Structures are given as C-alpha cells and as structure tokens.
Amino acid sequence: MDIEEIAAEIIRCRKCDLHLERRKPVPGEGPEDAKVIFVGEAPGKEEDRVGRPFIGRAGGLLTDSLREAGLRREDVFITNVVKCRPPDNRNPRRDEISSCIPYLERQITAIDPEVICLLGRVALQALLKETTVSKVHGKVIQRDRTYMPMYHPAAVLRNPELRTVMIEDMRRLRRFLSDSNSRKD
C-alpha cells in the first residue's frame, strides 16, 4: 500500500475521539522515496485548518533549520504521531496514540527511510519509550530502525537558546546521510 492510499484512509478515519473536533486530518507530506521521516506530536491549529503538517511558526523553524543544515524540506517526509488535532493543543492521550500509531507504522514501512527523526517527547516516547529529549537529541539510535531524536521546533520557539542545538542536530543528520551514501558507494 502506498502513502496516498494510507492518507486516504486517514482522511476517512474515526477510530478515536479526535475525529470529533478536527477540521482536517493531517496525514503528512513528502516524497514516497524520502530518506528521512520527521515525526512530530500532533497537528496544531494552522495544520488543522489547512490539512498540512508543520506550516505554522514551528513549521517555519523546521524548514529554516533544514535549510541552514543544507537539507531541503521537499526531500523529507513530515508527519505526526497522531493525525488529528487534539482540542486546545493538549498532548494526545495514550489511547489516541494507540489508535493512530498503526498509520505511522504503515507510512514508515511504505517509505522505508534511512533515518526517522523524532521531534520532541511525545514522538520519542511513542516510538522509543524514552522520555528525556535532552539526553538523546542528535544521537543515532539503532533499534528496529535507525532513529535520531531532536527537540520539537515548538520547544525551540519557547527556548530560543535551543536554536543552535537544533541546527547542530540537523547538521549531524546531514552528515549521517552523507556517510550513509558513502557506505553504499
């Protein structure tokens, strides 16, 4: 099944209560052959209105950080742990994550990326059962797949001193991708 078919299922989905107040589900966007998937927490107000991931201020910061590290937003796939906005931007509940995460797992299988970047604590907890971003950000973690946790751009907006950390982590990501290409040559 390709990512378009998965997106079509997400748009029809009513598996958890988040469908009750969402305006538009946000399946994610990016190329099906992306080498990197970024996983955030959940759509925010602007994403819910438009149906696209990371388009508000946090999304602008993500795009800028990618560019400053020599990467391009259009080359990566961007999505969230849950695909519908939690009311008032609260954290998604465990039952909502359990209902929604099979979509993310199927997106990961369809894209088969070289690395999955986990943006913030909710994504880190959902995929790696870790909770402290400050201990693991910028590190390559091998489990069933290859992961690299990073700070969520919204956290960086709240704490501007983290901006240089985020850009350095993006540079680590670019070096990981370059090294991975060299290993294949």
119 binds ligand SF4 per the rule CB under 6 A: no
Identify each DSSP E strand in the chain by its residue range: 36-40, 77-80, 115-119, 141-142, 146-150
Binding-site member from 3, 6, 7, 25 for ligand SF4 (CB under 6 A): 25
Q: How far is the CB of 1 from ligand SF4 (least distance, A)?
A: 15
* Binding residues for ligand SF4 restricted to 41-100, rule: CB under 6 A: 82-84, 96, 99-100
Nearer to ligand SF4, 19 or 23 (CB): 19
Among residues 7, 18, 61, 116, the one that binds ligand SF4 under rule CB under 6 A: 18
Nearest to 77 by CA among 42, 50, 113, 128: 113
**Residues in a beta bridge with 89:** none
Burial 137-172 (b: 16+ CB within 10 A, else e): bbeebeeeeebbbbbbbbbbeeeeebbebbbebbbb
Residue 16 binds ligand SF4, judged by CB under 6 A: yes
Q: Which is nearer to ligand SF4, 6 or 162 (CB)?
A: 6
Beta-carbon contacts of residue 66 (< 8 Å; ≥ 6 apart): 72, 73, 76, 170
Q: Which of 7, 13, 37, 111 binds ligand SF4 (CB under 6 A)?
A: 13
Binding of ligand SF4 at residue 6 (CB under 6 A)? no
Residues that bind ligand SF4 (rule: CB under 6 A) add up to a total of: 14
CB atoms within 10 A of CB 98: 13
- Smaller CB separation from ligand SF4, 25 or 59: 25
Query: What are the distances in angstroms from CA 167 to CA 62, 110, 139?
Result: 9, 28, 14
Nearer to ligand SF4, 104 or 156 (CB): 104
Binding site residues, ligand SF4, CB under 6 A: 10, 13-16, 18-19, 25, 82-84, 96, 99-100
